[in-house]
Amino acid sequence: MTELVCPGCRTRTPERLDVRTLSRDGDILACACGRRYPIVDGVPIVMAPMRAEIASVIERDLAPEVAALLVADGPDDAPYARLLEHLSIYLDAQWGDHATPPPDGPGAGHAAALLAKLVALPRVGLAVELGCSVGRFTAELAARADEVVAVDLHHGALRRARRLLAGEPIDYARRVAGRHYTRARITPPLQLVSDNVTFVCGDALDPPLIPAVFDRVIALNLLDSIANPRQLLSVVDALCAPGGELILASPYTWQSSVMPEHHRIGGADPATAVRQILEQGLGLGTRYRIEDEADVPWTLRRDARSAATYCIHYMRARAL
């Protein structure tokens, strides 16, 4: 496992950043400061303080039919109902090309355009993905890096990502309509099986990672899914090693339920604003050269009759 640091006692001054690495004792990661963090199903949960919704959806392995029964009587916004919906959407979106039966409905396609960008990347030493979700992009990155750390806030997504990258088929509940689900199975192909990934349940805005050591830092479809996108840009910059690269992608679909109005970037043209932040190093530790930029399609199947389609702004930038 890649060394993780304690987010609870990390201290910053204008001159330096002081961190303590965590040591493992069974299913606990411990810090010299006294803080302890659990490891659940092989996935460490490292955040300070622990977010309440994480503990509320620590789950058992259930048959898709049993899981569907647990949410059948609602409400739609209950924690477990939201988890099932989230898993259905993102397992279909990222792994649908390896699912049986294949996803149906208007969002039956998969993330081919974004995957093609990752497949073309050269090999690096150490990479990190913030907001890795169910791990398909992580698998492609792992094939092009000596070691990968993958961070997400959804423990249920990470459990499945870890199993898929270990080569284990998984059954999941695919949403048909409302809170009605059917069974689907993903069988990961051998070329996507990896043993060089550490999955961590943590906050992308405060990841428990050593700074300035990652040759490749990736945050796909995350800038508009966190409370403070400028803080995320600062985080990816801080993690990036000298001369390393950042890979960002976002449709910039800001939502008031996710972030306050004053944290949104760029008015009517967020893509240009993010590019300028990177090129000019605004609020960052260095400037970046844009090496690749494109708009790529991204579709999320919500159920058998509905989907959301986005045009994602993709950028790959090199630290100067």
Residue 106 lies in a domain: yes
Residue 137 lies in a domain: yes
Question: Is 236's pLDDT higher than 90?
Answer: yes
Domain count for the chain: 1
- Tell me, what's the pLDDT at 56? 59
Residue 52's CATH number: 3.40.50.150
Mean pLDDT of 61-70: 88
Residue 198 lies in a domain: yes
Residue 169 lies in a domain: yes
What is the C-alpha to C-alpha distance for residues 20 and 32, in angstroms, rounded to an integer? 7
Question: Is 205's pLDDT higher than 90?
Answer: yes
Residue 1 lies in a domain: no
- Tell me, what's the pLDDT at 50? 76
What is the C-alpha to C-alpha distance for residues 7 and 277, in angstroms, rounded to an integer? 26
Question: Is 14's pLDDT higher than 80?
Answer: no
Strand ranges across the sheet with 288-303: 197-201, 145-152, 124-130, 214-220, 240-250, 306-319, 288-303
User: For residue 318, what are the CA distances in angstroms to 24, 104, 227, 315?
Assistant: 35, 39, 25, 10
- Tell me, what's the pLDDT at 49? 81
Mean pLDDT of 36-57: 81
Residue 2 lies in a domain: no
Mean pLDDT of 94-98: 95
What is the C-alpha to C-alpha distance for residues 32 and 22, in angstroms, rounded to an integer? 8
Confidence of residue 52 (pLDDT cuts 50, 70, 90): low
> 247 near 282, Cβ under 8 Å?
no
What is the C-alpha to C-alpha distance for residues 308 and 138, in angstroms, rounded to an integer? 23
Question: Is 180's pLDDT higher than 80?
Answer: yes
Residue 224 lies in a domain: yes
pLDDT digit string (tens) for 112-148? 899 999 999 999 999 999 999 999 999 999 999 999 9
List the single range of 68-77, 256-265, 278-287, 300-309 with lowest mean pLDDT.
68-77
Domain hosting residue 245, numbered range: 11-319
Residue 5 lies in a domain: no
One-character DSSP codes across the chain: ----B-TTT-EE-SS-EE--B-EEETTEEE-TTS-EEEEETTEEB--SSPPHHHHHT------HHHHHHHHTT--TTSHHHHHHHHHHHHHHHHHGGGEESPP-STT----HHHHHHHHTPPPEEEEEEES-TTSHHHHHHHTTEEEEEEEES-HHHHHHHHHHHTT--EEEEEEEETTEEEEEEE---GGG--SSEEEEE--TTS-S--TT-EEEEEEES-TTSSS-HHHHHHHHHHHEEEEEEEEEEE-----TTTS-GGG--STT-HHHHHHHHHHHTTTSSS-EEEEEEEEEEEEEEEETTEEEEEEEEEEEEEE-
